[in-house]
């Protein structure tokens, strides 16, 4: 992923989703349809990843395909990270990327990543941050998110669980699956995003959060298909 992840993605996601009121009790997405998700494309990226509700019979899931492409899908629902910090999902990827590398800008592509984005609160910001976010609001019409966690299916098998995104410290990456060993298999994940945020950023997050899903391969020029069976936000 290029520098747009640090600027365009973070700014656009705010206007798409984080303005919505937070869901107090959490929610579950089974991908029967994509009615509660909005597409996010990038002006300078002509090839867009494809997202569809697929499956056979009653077994439905999200199918995300990247082919030297990049775009995202953003949830219209938000949640309170302190009330509902636990996120569960089931995912699968066809393959990882040979050129993908979590520590390099040129390798910042993933067959699947789940974003948790956090709303910027101007009342809690320092003077410099207020200037920076105020300028972004003038350009994009609203404040960009304060920060984000990226839960990724990593291409390499680095020993770290948490790595900063190579483009911005505002995005910290959680390496849940690493390398090709489990490619082609469904894998269940359960994370506590509040605990992960505190470990990744060394601070408490803003309360309001939202989800996004991305499959991208524009830097590496490779191809992969990812699947998400469901995703659930809950208190425990």
Please write the tens of the pLDDT for every residue from 137-174. 666 566 566 689 999 999 999 999 999 999 888 899 99
Mean pLDDT of the region 86-109: 97
Task: Please tell me whether the overall predicted TM-score, pTM, comes out greater than 0.75 for this model.
Answer: yes
What rounded mean pLDDT belongs to the chain? 87
Domain boundaries, the chain: 3-234
Element (H, E) at 40: strand 37-40
pLDDT of residue 84: 97
Q: Are 218 and 44 in contact (CB under 8 A)?
A: no
How far is CA 32 from each of CA 82, 123, 173, 229, rounded to the nearest angstrom? 28, 39, 28, 10
pLDDT of residue 99: 98
For the domain spanning 3-234, the CATH number is 2.60.120.430
Note the maximum CA span of the chain. 55
Q: 4 falls in which pLDDT band (50, 70, 90)?
A: very low
């Amino acid at each position: 992923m290029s520098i747009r992840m640090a600027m365009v993605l973070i700014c656009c996601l705010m206007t798409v989703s984080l303005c919505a009121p937070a869901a107090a009790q959490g929610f579950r997405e089974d991908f029967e349809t994509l009615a509660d998700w909005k597409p996010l494309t990038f002006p300078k990226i002509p090839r867009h990843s494809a997202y569809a509700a697929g499956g056979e019979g009653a077994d439905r899931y999200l199918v995300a395909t990247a082919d030297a492409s990049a775009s995202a899908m953003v949830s219209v629902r938000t949640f309170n990270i302190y009330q509902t910090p636990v996120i569960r999902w089931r995912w699968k990827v066809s393959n990882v990327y040979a050129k993908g590398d979590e520590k390099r800008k040129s390798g910042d592509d993933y067959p699947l990543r789940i974003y948790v984005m956090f709303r910027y609160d101007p009342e809690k910001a320092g003077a410099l941050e207020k200037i920076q976010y105020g300028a972004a609001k003038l350009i994009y019409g609203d404040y960009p998110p304060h920060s984000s966690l990226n839960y990724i299916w990593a291409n390499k098998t680095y020993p770290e669980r948490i790595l900063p995104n190579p483009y911005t410290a505002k995005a910290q990456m959680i390496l849940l699956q690493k390398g090709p060993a489990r490619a082609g298999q469904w894998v269940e994940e359960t994370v506590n995003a509040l605990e992960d945020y505190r470990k990744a950023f060394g601070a408490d997050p803003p309360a309001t959060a939202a989800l996004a899903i991305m499959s991208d391969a524009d830097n590496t020029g490779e191809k992969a298909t990812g699947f998400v069976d469901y995703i659930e936000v809950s208190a425990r």
